[in-house]
Structure 1
Amino acid sequence: MSAITADEAAWLAADLPPLQRQVTQPSGSVIEYREAGPSNAPAIVLLHGVGSSSAGYRAQFAGLSDSFRVIAWNAPGYGGSTLLAEPNPTALDYAAALAGFLDGLGLARPAVLAGSSWGSVIALNLAVAQPERVGALLLSAPNTGRGSLPPEARAEALAALRAKPPSASDDRSAVAERLLTSDTPQPVRALVERLRDALTPVGWSAAMHMMFTTDTPCLIARAQGPVALLAGTRDRMAPLEAHAAKLHAARPDAHLHVFEGCGHMLKLEAPARFNAILRAMATGD
């Protein structure tokens, strides 16, 4: 991939907004989140991937909060966010949790709902279940889900994944190697190695189950409003041909943005282009 620019380097080095807590009454459940930008500006809501957290959107907080209210949650079961009550949650359970989070923020309809990887699955499920809540939809390194597998194959695959949960002792450089490319600049690699700090085994296990409850190519045609798909040509976690291309085939009017030479973490690998796409969608350009 190409070297990062001076602006991108500054965004990647910027301080994160502090974590805030949204407490739901009377249940007392908590959602942690970060927020930056004017409270009355159009809102961009960002959903992280299965091995990440709100901290993965450092470059979006720094690069977009001049004009937008930028919000990123720690999904249920991540960091200090309360795990969903359902031990084997579906994609719609996460979508409902997201809807409740948006209600708590007073956001009836964000300008853009953006999700990376696993977050793209949550975003798409909310956009289909409650289309009035989403102005535009951005799916980065999107995942098709595994809900189309036959029941027996689905159960076997999920059991195999759950048998090897991630832990804090995992080699983070090896994890980053799978997500990035061999020539990813060191500042990006260093950030990616730290993104597992909010990952919990129970949160990860619930997220894994969710991925086997949905088939996003069957959903995307039902999403209303503008849809953008972002995919890296060197993404080994969600290869373009197996994921974004299938979604694009199911929704030909979606704008497919191909990031040459990039891996799975487009928001950090190519933040200037990522932010430009988000900005254009949020302003309707």
Structure 2
Amino acid sequence: MTGWQTHSAVGIEYLERPGEGPALVLLHGIGSQAASFTPLLPFLAPELRVIAWNAPGYGGSDPLAQDWPVAADYSRALERFLDALALPRVMLLGHSLGALMAASFAAARRERVARLTLAAPALGHGVPRGGQLSSAAQSRIDDLERLGAAALAEARAARLVHAPEQNPEALELVRAGMSRVTLPGYGQAARMLASGRLLDDAERLSVPTDVIVGAEDRVTPPDGARRAHDALRAAARGRFTLLPEAGHALYQQAPARFAAALELTPEPAA
């Protein structure tokens, strides 16, 4: 895995590319892992310190204590993680489910986020904790239990890539990452997705926030990303970028164009 170093802190496994500049922290989605950001790495400025965590319950990271966590529980895990790495302020990027985690953290800890990027953001389903899971969330858990991770990836991966038959490398990256998901972490993440309310957190954000989505995203379509951008306060509303010919796994399918769309100049601390 060229460029990455593997570490662990406070029960979180993470990948790091050392750098002398600002820290960029990357939060992956529900069917993914830290290594999914590998294609993006060559297109990020070499001075950036890039950190990609395996979310609680993914890879070598400990799962959360709650069977049904909400976004704030992942936010608190992220705060402990950043404290352990002595990172008082970072640029934060969340993809899909990771956008729910990132927005929750930035809304609660604005002083710790220099800039926020929501990539292909999942809006969440708004189910109260402990309520009836949405069919989409329940099917994720059922499919993993019934099929196993490899078969789950075989069944679901193509939907994340635009024109998968023309993009076999991106498809294989998505499939490989999804084939490594396990319980209880995946189940916890599915329940958090069910209870997520991204638009509520978006309205609370006061840090500069950019939104990027693939024009061909069938998982979190562009209209949802536009709703998230529109929900931002004027002072927090950064750029909205629609990447043509890219699906949900946009930073794997189009890493150079995704990197070019990022605004990675930290805002001065207030």
Alignment of 1:151-166 (within 5 A): 154-155=132-133, 157=135, 158-165=137-144
The answer for the alignment partner of 2:102 in structure 1 is: 123
CA contact (8 A) 1:146 1:154 kept: no
CA contact (8 A) 2:213 2:222 kept: yes
Which of residues 49, 63, 83 in structure 1 aligns to 2:29?
A: 49
2:123 is aligned with what amino acid?
Answer: T
Question: Which aligned pairs between 1:1-285 and structure 2 lie closer than 5 A?
Answer: 15=2, 17-22=4-9, 24=10, 30-38=11-19, 40-64=20-44, 66-110=46-90, 112-147=91-126, 149=127, 154-155=132-133, 157=135, 158-165=137-144, 167-170=148-151, 172-182=153-163, 184-241=166-223, 243-251=224-232, 253-278=237-262, 280-283=263-266
Q: 1:156 to 1:181 in 2, by over 3 A?
A: closer
- Within 1, Cα distance between the matches of 2:124 and 2:200? 10
1:99, 1:150 → 2: CA distance? 24
From the superposition, tell whether residues 95 and 212 of structure 1 become closer, same or farther in structure 2 (CA, over 3 Å). Answer: same
Q: 3-state DSSP class of the match of 2:88? A: coil
The one-letter code sitting in structure 1 at the alignment partner of 2:218 is: R
Matched-pair contact (CA < 8 Å) for 1:37–1:65:
no
CA RMSD after TM alignment: 2.3
**Unaligned residue ranges in structure 1 (runs of 5+):** 1-13, 25-29
Is 1:95–1:126's contact at 8 Å kept on the other side of the alignment? yes
Q: Deviation digits for residues 87-135 of structure 1, max 9, x if unmatched?
A: 211110000000110111111110x100110001100000011111111
Q: Which moved more, 1:179-188 or 1:124-133?
A: 179-188
Distance in 2 between residues matched to 1:37 and 1:98, nearest whole Å? 19
The TM-score with structure 1 as length reference comes to 0.84
Instruction: Give, in angstroms, the shift of residue 170 of structure 1.
Output: 0.8
Deviations 1:211-258 (CA, angstroms, capped at 9, x unpaired): 1223111221211221111111111111112x2021122126332100
CA distance in 2, matches of 1:81, 1:208: 17
Q: Is the 8 A contact 1:49 1:118 kept in 2?
A: yes
Secondary structure at the counterpart of residue 165 of structure 1: helix
Structure 1 residues 224, 88: CA separation in 2 closer, same or farther (over 3 Å shift)? same
Q: 1:196 to 1:160 in 2, by over 3 A?
A: closer
Amino acid aligned to 1:80: G
1:171 CA displacement: 5.5
Segments of 5+ residues of structure 2 without an aligned counterpart are none
Q: Which stretch shifts more, 60-69 or 267-276?
A: 60-69
Tell me, in whole angstroms, the C-alpha distance in 1 between the residues paired with 2:128 and 2:63: 28
Letter in 2 for 1:281: L
Q: Cα 1:130–1:239, aligned 2, differ >3 Å: closer, same or farther? A: same
Aligned counterparts of 1:54 and 1:152: Cα–Cα separation in 2 = 28
1:97 partner amino acid: A
The alignment of Structure 1 onto Structure 2 pairs a total of residues equal to: 261
TM-score by length of 2: 0.88
The question of whether the paired residues in 1 share the 8 Å contact of 2:150 and 2:180 is answered with: no
User: Quick one: distance in 2 between partners of 1:77 and 1:271?
Assistant: 26
